[in-house]
Amino acid sequence: MTATHTPHPYYPLDLILDHYVPNTYSMADTLTLLFSTFGAITVGSIALSYQKRNTTIRGLGNQLTFLWFVMCGFIHFFLEGYFGIYHRTLAGDQSPLAQVWKEYSLSDSRYLSSDSFVLIMERITAFAWGPLAFFTAYAMYHNRPSRHIAQLIISLGQLYGCVLYYATTMVEGSPHCDPHPYYYYFYFGFFNIFWMIVPSILMHNSVKNLYRAMKVAVEAEKESKKVKKSK
């Protein structure tokens, strides 16, 4: 905007980010770092799922669900947790996680300007949904009765957070996003759409399982009352 402010590549162009320092990693470096970590988590999760003979953990669908929760645990707790704690200084931060956020922020500068909605939503995601994701993976692995309750809670939390995340900037005409299709559709769109699609499927799956169990419980309760009355 004016020559007295530090120039930066983020939108809106008049955003003031005087503590901004350009990344030392290239875009390719950053994406390689990110996807290698995701790859390692994937291999670890799938390997772990083969250790167990539960019907709730074996089979491709279950293995992918298990991987999803482990991956969410890492992304929420570490990546989003880093933002939740260091958001104020992020634009000038050169740690590997900060460089990932500075690259991503090209599609949403609210991460560098500590937007109050993004900050609170990310803190809840990191420190409530993060541990809950690991717990859900654990509950699934050991076929615990709490699994579908945890799965329903985290999936609704993720879905609600993601709807708010998209809609709060889109209703303003997405002023925080670089309009280039690479940033808008790949970073802002593709990277987040998973948290719309997968939680919707998993909520449906949990509601179905919980409904079936509650139906049996309600019937049994009614039955026991009839027996009592007829005595």
| Interacting residues with its own copies (CB under 8 A) | 116-117, 119-121, 124, 143-149, 152-153, 156-157, 160-161, 163-164, 167-169, 171-172, 207, 209-218, 220
Chain-centroid distance of CA 91 in Å reads: 22
Report the nearest approach of its own copies to the CB of residue 134 (Å): 18
User: Which residue number, 34 or 154, has a Cβ lying nearer to its own copies?
Assistant: 154
CB neighbour list of residue 227: distance below 8 Å, 6 or more residues apart: none
User: Which residue number, 99 or 169, has a Cβ lying nearer to its own copies?
Assistant: 169
- Phi, psi angle pair for 20, to nearest 5°: -70, 135
Long-range contacts of 216-222 (CB under 8 A, 24+ apart): none
User: Which residue number, 73 or 84, has a Cβ lying nearer to its own copies?
Assistant: 84
Report the nearest approach of its own copies to the CB of residue 210 (Å): 5
With both helix axes pointing from N to C terminus, report the angle between 147-170 and 60-74 in degrees, rounded to the nearest 10.
60
User: Which residue number, 17 or 153, has a Cβ lying nearer to its own copies?
Assistant: 153
Contact 170, 115 (CB under 8 A): no
**C-alpha distances out from residue 184 to 36, 161, 175, 197, Å:** 23, 19, 11, 18
Cα 150 from Cα 165, distance rounded (Å): 22
Report the nearest approach of its own copies to the CB of residue 99 (Å): 25
Report the nearest approach of its own copies to the CB of residue 93 (Å): 20
- Spell 4-33 as b/e; 16+ CB within 10 A means b: eeeebebbeeebebeebeebebeeeebeeb
Report the nearest approach of its own copies to the CB of residue 108 (Å): 13
Report the nearest approach of its own copies to the CB of residue 170 (Å): 9
User: Which residue number, 13 or 163, has a Cβ lying nearer to its own copies?
Assistant: 163
Cα 105 from Cα 31, distance rounded (Å): 13
User: Which residue number, 25 or 184, has a Cβ lying nearer to its own copies?
Assistant: 184
Cα 56 from Cα 144, distance rounded (Å): 10
